[in-house]
């Protein structure tokens, strides 16, 4: 077994181990857990109010839930109380997260049977989902899952169109069908190879084999990823500023969202200064700089290649702007994809809070960047961890973020397998067409077809 295979097997083992740990740590109690208990309060969509039936400190609480009118009851509910160990509390304080254990506010009253309490910070962990949807057979929201799958397919196909524009912008012979053929094989390897950019290596190599200008061919793939990332930051900055000015970023998680917007604008401002400075650079100086980069040890060739790609497309601003616009449309789709994935298993009356749609427009791009970590196949494990922490950072249930990521992963794996099958089908058709052309050419040399 060579070194490369050993490293890849290690990556799969790490990703699988991380995913198992994330699932285990968010398995929870089948009854669900409550993060905060306040004596008194009014019914609210994101909270549950009711009369205490039984209360066991640090173990569980059972209530008779009040209806929205605050008078009628809707049945008995029981929740486990959250427990947090010493090490967990230390790391939560280190990263500025909530304490983790259930907070009880009595406001001077006594928490005993008959008292009216309001429960919030409710988490329906993976054990609850397994209990309700697998063992008890409660249906999932199939409409949201179908919507997420449709959006994922459309957004993915849009990335193929985006790449096609970049390839044609540098005048390489490339058909629309070729973009889909190589895009499908890239999609397959993106889903199952270590990192969400593993398929780009395969796609770049396949395109380079079919082109005489191989360096330029590889540069198109590099710039496709770079422009998509740049568009992602612009996406967060522009939408976040709009949400901020319109007063949407209020309530739970608002401060964290405003922090994201500020950081996005810092990156956008810095990158725009660099982009404008590149426009003042003469061509001969850009080529000389690439030559100097090549002499750097180890990473010199890769840095020179990246620099040539940036410079090549800096001279084609119309193509870059068109791809930027398509990337924004695709990012909107990916946000709705994740939001629909979360709603697939979420119950509106569960008392479990999830971020708003506006907040998803700010955290989903961050989650996608985390998911693209190069050490994990398709972002497995690290994606679930990232979305779970982002949800908790906004004061919502970590388990909901993990569940949304798992549903999204099922969709991505489905599309990845579909992409592999489509590539094999299109490759077979292409080879058959080439053989047919060869036969026709041979027959034409032996017996030319008469013209009319």
**Predicted confidence (pLDDT) at residue 343 exceeds the cutoff of 90:** yes
3-state secondary structure labels for all residues of the chain: CCHHHHHHHHHHHHHHHHHHHHHHHCCCCCCCEECEEEECCCCECCEEEEEEEEEECCCEEEEEEECCCCCCEEEEEEEEECCCCHHHHHHHHHCCCCCCCCEEECCCCCCCCCCEEEEECCECCHHHHHHHHHHCCCCCCHHHHHHHHHHHHHHHHHHHHHHHHHHHHCCCCCCHHHHHHHHHHHHHHHHHCEECCHHHHHHHHHHHHCCCCHHHHHHHHHHHHHHHHHHHHHHHHHHHHHHHHCCCCCCCCHHHHHHHHHHHHHHHHHHHHHHHHHCCCCHHHHHHHHHHHHCCCCCHHHHHHHHHHHHHHHCCHHHHHHHHHHHHHHHHHHHHHHHHHHHCCCCCCCCCCCCCHHHHHHHHHHHHHHHCCCCCECCCCHHHHHHHHHHHHCCCCHHHHHHHHHHHHHHHHHHHHHHHHHHHHHHHHHHHHHHHHHHHHHHHHHCCCCCC
**pLDDT above 70 (res 126):** yes
pLDDT at position 70: 56
Mean pLDDT for 2-14 is 76
For residue range 410-436, list pLDDT tens digits in order.
Answer: 999 999 999 889 888 887 777 766 565
pLDDT tens profile 108-117: 777 888 888 8
| Tens digits of residue pLDDT in 186-233 | 888 888 776 555 677 788 888 888 877 777 788 888 888 888 888 989
pLDDT (0 to 100) of residue 41: 66
pTM, two decimals, is: 0.80
Q: Read off the pLDDT of residues 313-339 as tens digits, 9 standing for 90 and up.
A: 888 888 888 899 999 999 999 999 999
pLDDT (tens digit per residue) in 260-302? 899 999 999 998 998 888 888 888 888 888 888 888 887 787 7
Q: Tens digits of per-residue pLDDT, 45-75?
A: 667 888 888 888 878 888 888 876 555 566 7
């Amino acid at each position: 077994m060579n070194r490369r295979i050993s490293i890849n097997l290690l990556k799969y083992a790490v990703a699988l181990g991380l995913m198992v740990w994330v699932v285990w740590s968010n398995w929870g109690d089948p009854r669900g857990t409550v993060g905060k208990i306040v004596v008194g309060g009014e019914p609210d969509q994101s909270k549950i109010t009711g009369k205490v039936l039984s209360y066991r400190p640090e173990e569980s609480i059972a209530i008779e839930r009040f209806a929205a009118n605050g008078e009628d009851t809707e049945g008995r509910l029981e929740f486990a109380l959250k427990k947090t160990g010493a090490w967990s509390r230390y790391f939560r304080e280190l990263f500025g997260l909530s304490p983790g254990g259930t907070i009880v506010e009595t406001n001077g009253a006594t928490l005993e049977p008959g008292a009216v309490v309001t429960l919030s910070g409710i988490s329906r962990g993976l054990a609850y989902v397994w209990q309700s949807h697998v063992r008890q057979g409660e249906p999932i929201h199939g409409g949201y899952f179908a919507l997420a799958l449709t959006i994922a397919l459309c957004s993915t196909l849009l990335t193929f169109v985006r790449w096609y524009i970049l390839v044609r912008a540098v005048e390489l012979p490339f058909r629309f069908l070729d973009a889909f053929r190589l895009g499908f094989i890239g999609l397959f390897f993106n889903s199952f190879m270590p990192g969400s950019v593993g398929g780009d290596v395969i796609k770049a190599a396949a395109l380079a084999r079919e082109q005489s200008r191989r360096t330029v061919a590889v540069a198109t793939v590099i710039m496709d990823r770079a422009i998509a990332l740049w568009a992602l930051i612009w996406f967060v900055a522009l939408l976040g500023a709009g949400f901020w000015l319109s007063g949407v970023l209020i309530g739970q998680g608002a401060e964290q969202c405003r922090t994201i917007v500020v950081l996005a604008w810092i990156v956008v401002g810095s990158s725009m200064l660099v982009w404008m400075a590149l426009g003042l650079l003469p061509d001969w100086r850009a080529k000389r700089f690439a030559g100097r980069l090549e002499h750097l040890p180890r990473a010199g060739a890769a840095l020179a290649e990246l620099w040539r790609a940036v410079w090549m497309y800096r001279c084609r601003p119309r193509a870059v702007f068109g791809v930027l616009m398509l990337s924004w449309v695709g990012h909107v789709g990916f946000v709705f994809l994740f939001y629909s994935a979360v709603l697939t298993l979420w119950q509106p009356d569960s008392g479990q809070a999830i971020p708003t749609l506006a907040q998803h427009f700010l955290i989903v791009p961050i989650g996608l960047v985390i998911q693209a970590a190069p050490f994990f196949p398709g972002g497995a494990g690290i994606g679930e961890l990232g979305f779970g922490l982002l949800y908790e950072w906004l004061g919502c249930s970590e388990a909901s973020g993990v569940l949304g990521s798992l549903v999204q992963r099922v969709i991505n794996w489905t599309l990845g397998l579909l992409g592999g099958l489509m590539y094999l089908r299109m490759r077979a058709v292409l080879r058959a067409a080439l053989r047919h052309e060869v036969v026709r050419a041979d027959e034409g040399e032996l017996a030319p077809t008469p013209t009319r």
